[in-house]
Structure 1
């Protein structure tokens, strides 16, 4: 578990590129046979990845959380971004195809990840604090109906899948979904917004090795950027915009946690307010 402390926006104005990347970018989430986790003090979320190849990987934070087991006081949202794999929750097994989601509520002691038929599954997850237990529930991407957004003139035609949210899979405070940009489109979340009542994390996917996303962050009138590669994630504090433009089309998994559970709780930033 790597610890990431919160930083004040006034500090970020003076950050070098290296400092920005060390605080906000999660470059290596998927290592074979390992559980990789980042603990962010932005709303106490845990962002991580698991790639089981030789053996199952147990969801276990050691003594970092100071609880008996990972989900003692937490909930978790999981998406498989690799080949088909299995998440085991107690005695129940859930097969996740590529881009399928699974929500697991508070209180489940035994959770593990495994591959299926020797394929390389890659599980990405975001966990937040919880105050009550909601049912474990799977959402197959093939059974979801996305919101179709954007237009060709703005280069942002995309499908937005809301999965864990108030009108979908119920949770305490975690919201999670995926946005898929169509071919020849490269902009996401522009015009930008902030939501001062919750943080957000982006995992960028479906990029070729030589393709990049320029992720824009910072206060609206003091923006910065991170150059992000495939299967890398960015932490976005509540005071920061979160928007990206890619050298090709891509997908991104978004997850939010914080004070407000309303998906539309956001403060839009007019284009002429960005600097």
Structure 2
């Protein structure tokens, strides 16, 4: 498990492209036959991927956690971005098709990942946050997720959000998780932009053709920078940063958050006139 530390926005203003990518961009999370995790010091958020092929994969208990098991003091959200697979939690199996989500509560001791067909593996994307109490392990299909339509064709940001783990969905301590898809002919996500000082966020861009990219914009609204992001790459968004993107092709992205609250409306809008 690699670690990413926090950065002050005054320091961020001086960053080169390479420094920005090194601190905030994460690649190689969803590799066949591996589990890869990143520990962010923003709200102690962990994110990563598990892609089981011929053998099951077990969620590791990294020494950095100083815990009896990974979920001793944590909760976990899992969204399947690939073919069918199974997540085992303390001896109980949960079958996940594409876009099914599983929440695993604090105190669960063993979590394993299997693909139904090794040649077309499941692609499990993981989000984890510290938890103060246990909530029951719960599965939602895409049909059970809360569907929210935002934006318009005229502003090229018409999109649909699928909310799984949130204040009115799967119950959690602080984890919020879902994904967004842009409708055909639209390119912008999360624009006009916002920040939320009470929460951090991670975006994982996916279903982006290999020869295309998303220009992801971050930084304070008056001090923006960009990252060129490819398929299945993630961006860490500090509380002080906007998190918007414009793609050269259709794409989707998973969003995961942790922090002081779970309110979808808890954001600080950045009027377009203030963005630089």
Structure 2 residue runs of 5 or longer lacking an equivalent are: none
Pairing 1:37–2:51 present: no
> How far apart are the structure 1 equivalents of 2:61 and 2:15?
30
Q: Contact conserved, 2:61 with 2:67, CA < 8 A, in 1?
A: no
Cα distance change on mapping 1:37 and 1:185 into 2, 3 Å: same
Dislocated runs of 4+, deviation >3 Å: 142-145
> How far apart are the structure 2 equivalents of 1:18 and 1:88?
39
The aligned counterpart of 1:128 is 129
The aligned counterpart of 1:233 is 234
How far 1:61 sits from its partner (Å)? 3.0
Pairing 1:263–2:264 present: yes
SS of the residue aligned with 1:71? coil
Pairing 1:215–2:216 present: yes
Q: Contact conserved, 2:35 with 2:49, CA < 8 A, in 1?
A: yes
Structure 1 residue runs of 5 or longer lacking an equivalent are: none
- RMSD, aligned CA: 0.9
> How far apart are the structure 1 equivalents of 2:64 and 2:57?
17
> How far apart are the structure 1 equivalents of 2:242 and 2:175?
19
> How far apart are the structure 2 equivalents of 1:144 and 1:234?
24
> How far apart are the structure 2 equivalents of 1:100 and 1:19?
35
The aligned counterpart of 1:186 is 187
How far 1:261 sits from its partner (Å)? 2.1
SS of the residue aligned with 2:242? coil
Cα distance change on mapping 1:145 and 1:65 into 2, 3 Å: closer
> How far apart are the structure 1 equivalents of 2:145 and 2:174?
21
The aligned counterpart of 2:90 is 90
Pairing 1:73–2:73 present: yes
Q: Contact conserved, 2:49 with 2:125, CA < 8 A, in 1?
A: yes
Pairing 1:12–2:12 present: yes
Pairing 1:101–2:80 present: no
The aligned counterpart of 1:137 is 138
Spell out, residue by residue over 1:189-238, the C-alpha distance to the aligned partner (whole angstroms, 9 max, x if none): 11100000110000101110111000000001000010001111100000
Range 137-146 or range 92-101, more displaced: 137-146
SS of the residue aligned with 1:153? coil
Aligned pair count? 275
Q: Contact conserved, 2:71 with 2:107, CA < 8 A, in 1?
A: yes
The aligned counterpart of 1:146 is 147
The aligned counterpart of 1:247 is 248
> How far apart are the structure 2 equivalents of 1:117 and 1:31?
16
Range 109-118 or range 233-242, more displaced: 109-118
User: Normalising by the residue count of structure 2, what TM-score does the alignment of the two structures yield?
Assistant: 0.98
User: Normalising by the residue count of structure 1, what TM-score does the alignment of the two structures yield?
Assistant: 0.98
> How far apart are the structure 2 equivalents of 1:14 and 1:147?
37
How far 1:23 sits from its partner (Å)? 0.5
What are the equivalent positions in structure 2 for 1:53-68 lying under 5 Å apart? 53-68=53-68
Cα distance change on mapping 1:164 and 1:141 into 2, 3 Å: same
> How far apart are the structure 2 equivalents of 1:272 and 1:117?
51
How far 1:145 sits from its partner (Å)? 4.5
